[in-house]
Each structure stands twice: as C-alpha cells, then as structure tokens.
Amino acid sequence: MIIIMLGAPGTGKGTVADVLEGKLGIKHISTGDIFRKNIKEKTKLGIIAQQYINEGNLVPDDVTIDVIKERLEEPDVADGAILDGFPRTVKQAEALDKMLQEKGKQVDLVIELMTPDDEIIERIVQRRVCSNQDCKAVYNLVLHPPKVEGICDKCGSKLIKRKDDTEEIVKERLKNYFELTSPLIEYYEKQGKIDKETVSVRINRLGEDVAKDVANRIKNNS
C-alpha cells in the first residue's frame, strides 16, 4: 500500500505517518529526514539541499525525484510506504505515478492534513528534535515537552532546534507550500484519493487521533 501525507509544514505529517507505520506495518519515508542526513554528512546532495532549505525554499523537483526513486528500490518498502514530504508538486506526483506503474503499483490513499496558520507557526517555533539520527523523536515545548528539559525521552540524546524552525522561514515555507504544492490537492482529488483531516488544538484533535482513525478505516476496508 502506498500512502501520501500532504499538508503544510507543521501540520503533523511525521506524527501521523509514524503512528500509521506502527499500526499498518509499512515504512514511513520522510524526504526531510533523507535530506537532513545528507546535510549532516555534507554529501553533494546535502550541500545542494542546504542552500534551498536555508532560504525557506523547496529542493528542486529533479533532485527530489531521484532521491525517492532510489529509496523506493530498497527492500524494506517492498510491501508499501508512507511518503512524507513527497510529492510536493504535480511534476513530482506524475513522476511517482510513473515509478509505481512500472512496479505494478499505485498511490492508494492521500491524507491531507489541515491546521490554522497561527497554530502551525507556534508549533514549529516550539519544535525540538532528537539529535540522534537513528531516533529522530520530535517534541513540542508546549504540546509535547520532554520529561527532562533538553533531553530525548527515548534515547537520552540532546534535543536541538532545527536552523529553519524560525518564524520568518516558517512563513516563507507556508507561502511556498500554498503557491506550489496546493495544486496537488486538485491532482489527487480528480483521482478520488484525498482524505481531508483537520489537526488542531481548537477542536482537540491531534495527529495521533487522526492516525488511529485512518488506520482503523483502512483495516476495516481491507
């Protein structure tokens, strides 16, 4: 099964994908994690990606498509994947459809997460992530703080704030998202694959709640 997570930065795509991975047994692939790993290791891809991310822009389509194509060849995704951060443009979506068709597969479900902009900004500015790349746990100093300040609950590593988690860059990322990525919604709506889900503290519905509901629906329909 191939599931795509759509939604502006900070809507909780990673949280929902992680829960679905545990409940459905299919791998969560985060494009952001792949890029951050390359940036940390200062690979050629990492250097290219860093330039765009620092400016709050998306990494070019061709670079991202090649990264995902290579990742989908790995054995741990033979039974399916949850794609988080890809596709972000119609060009990427068309490339993904072609990749999957060659394997006799298709996109089965697209989950669109929606959150008010002011909540998104507050979430990202208050976000802290585990410095251990093998752990990658994510916290929020307001909504989901660690038990010990600055320390990951899961592995004990130091928590850090991503360089691009500032209000200025978040606003630019939101602008880019709505200008460049929103057409994806129409693309997948035409295919009848969109599942719209609101994630907001105002209605007391967070990512884990959405993930549990989606997982139950998938299991009941299978």
Residue-wise pLDDT tens digits, 76-96: 999 899 999 899 889 999 999
More confident residue, 193 or 133: 193
What span, in angstroms and rounded, lies between the C-alpha atoms of 188 and 170? 25
Active site residue 127: yes
Give the per-residue pLDDT at 51: 85
Q: How high is the mean pLDDT of the chain? A: 90
Q: Kindly state the average pLDDT of the residues 139-164.
A: 93
What span, in angstroms and rounded, lies between the C-alpha atoms of 100 and 107? 8
- Is the predicted pLDDT of residue 112 greater than 90, yes or no? yes
More confident residue, 6 or 39: 6
Active site residue 162: yes
3-state SS of 15-77 is HHHHHHHHHHCCEEEEHHHHHHHHHHCCCHHHHHHHHHHHCCCCCCHHHHHHHHHHHCCCHHH
- Is the predicted pLDDT of residue 148 greater than 90, yes or no? yes
Of 123, 128, 136, 173, which residue is the catalytic one? 173
**Which residues are CB-neighbours of 151 under 8 A, at least 6 positions away?**
157, 158, 159
Active site residue 88: yes
Active site residue 173: yes
Q: Any idea where the domains of the chain sit in the sequence?
A: 2-115+167-221
- Is the predicted pLDDT of residue 115 greater than 80, yes or no? yes
152 near 159, Cβ under 8 Å?
yes
25-58 pLDDT tens trace: 999 999 888 888 888 888 888 888 888 877 777 7
Give the per-residue pLDDT at 92: 93
Of 36, 123, 127, 136, which residue is the catalytic one? 127
Give the per-residue pLDDT at 142: 85
Of 162, 193, 205, 212, which residue is the catalytic one? 162
Confidence grade of residue 173 (pLDDT, cut at 50, 70, 90): confident
Assessment of whether the complete model's pTM goes beyond 0.95: no
Confidence grade of residue 154 (pLDDT, cut at 50, 70, 90): very high
Side-chain-facing half-sphere of 203: CA atoms under 13 Å: 12
- Is the predicted pLDDT of residue 111 greater than 80, yes or no? yes
- Is the predicted pLDDT of residue 221 greater than 90, yes or no? no
More confident residue, 132 or 36: 132
Active site residue 136: no
Query: Domain 2-115+167-221 has what CATH class?
Result: alpha beta
